[in-house]
A and B are shown apart, each in its own frame.
Chain A
Amino acid sequence: MKKNNINSIKDSGFKVPKDYFSNLEDRLMSEIKLNQTVKDSGFKAPDDYFNTLESNILSKVSKKEPTKVIPLFNKKNLLYITSIAAAVLLLFNLSIFEKETKWDTLDADTVENYILNGNVGTYEIASLLLEGDIEEENFTSIEFTDEAMEGYFIENANIEDLMIK
């Protein structure tokens, strides 16, 4: 059976390109003829050219390119720096970055206006008072000097009020 199998394969499967044999002589002959006429191109390199080439090229690549010195305060940089500085200054002067208001810095008029304009109710005021502020003695032990009382009456009281009393 094996033998039959081999016999049945007549073709090895190898192929040659089209026209390979028809122009093989031609191709070989032109190549041979050319080779016979001339094989060497005739170019030559100067003596020692190849011996010095490495150093030649290396000196070019390793030559540190001179570092360009850029002055820090040239016109262009100065313009940059000053404009940045101006922008930063502007930023801090804008109201959005204004410092939080401190109690000490508030003047009496501002607080008065604030309260008068109705922004503050009694509860708000009460919440600001400490326990010590609202002890009973604070209110009962207030004593007025006679002079103060007298001055008060002279300035503020009128005769009708006194008569009612």
Chain B
Amino acid sequence: MPLVIDEIQLIEELKSDTKKEQAFRALITLYKERLYWHIRHIVKSHDDTDDVLQNTFIKIYKNIHNFKGDSKLFSWIYRIATNESITFINKNAKRLQTTNEEVQQLAINNLASDVYFEGDEIQLKLQEAIATLPEKQQLVFNMKYFEDIKYKEMSDILETSEGALKASYHIAVKKIEAYLTKN
């Protein structure tokens, strides 16, 4: 099956009745890995990521007719994935009657025994360091450092000015570096 790359055509097909499923399959293929890693860096465990990723795609499928094209499809999809991930953490915190920070800390603690985490000690430390950051700084750091998303795109996704994002990123790098040196 040829991969539909033309965004406008893809959106049109996603909104149509006849080609919707085929277009949706193409959309998943196009975004699955990028979105997986984006979500994985937020929720940490593979199983949770799988849940959130599937929810994200299902939400996209159900809400594509609401996509007005004010932003790029890419940004819209990433925004949904980001929101779904954060909602997931919030829900977990509520269920466990604790804070988001503790939920994240718990996820980090579980990493050492996670079969899908191959990191050495320093990578584990890096995850610990990231978990100490405020939510927004974590997002910006992950998106820039691991996912290589450009500030311009990040600005669309997170609806924050590029300047503020750059500042957040530099603060995050500094804090992480300080954490790693100290530990």
Pairing of A with B: yes
Binding site for B on A (CB under 8 A): 26-27, 30-31, 33-34, 37-38, 40-46, 49-50, 53-54, 56-58, 60-62
Decide: B177 and A34 in contact? CB cutoff 8 A: yes
Q: How many Å lie between the Cα of A25 and that of B15 in the bound state?
A: 50
Establish whether residues B122 and A41, one from each chain, have CB atoms under 8 Å apart when the complex forms: no
Q: How large is the interface on B (under 10, 10 to 19, 20 to 34, 35 or more residues)?
A: 35 or more
User: Given contacts A34-B176, A61-B24, are A50 and B57 in contact (CB under 8 A)?
Assistant: no
A81-B123 Cα distance, complex, nearest whole Å: 69
Partner of B173, one of A30, A40, A43, A53: A30
Check if B21 sits within 8 Å of A58, measured CB to CB: yes
Do most interface residues of chain A lie in helix, strand or loop, or is the interface mixed? helix
Q: Identify the stretch in B4-12, B30-38, B95-103, B150-158 within 8 Å (CB) of chain A at 4 or more residues.
A: B30-38
The stretch that binds A, out of B70-78, B82-90, B112-120, is B112-120
The CA of A152 and the CA of B33, in the complex, are separated in Å by 119
Known: A37-B122, A41-B127, A49-B50. 12 other contacts (CB 8 A): A31-B173, A34-B145, A34-B173, A34-B176, A34-B177, A41-B146, A44-B117, A45-B40, A45-B46, A49-B36, A50-B33, A58-B21
Which of B25, B61, B62, B117 interacts with A43 by CB under 8 Å?
B117
Looking at the assembled complex, report how far the CB atom of B166 sits from the nearest CB atom of chain A, in whole angstroms: 9
Contact: B177 with A40, CB < 8 Å?
A: no
Interface residues of B in 88-147 (CB under 8 A from A): 116-120, 122-124, 126-127, 145-146
**Nearest CB in chain A: distance from B2 CB, A:** 15
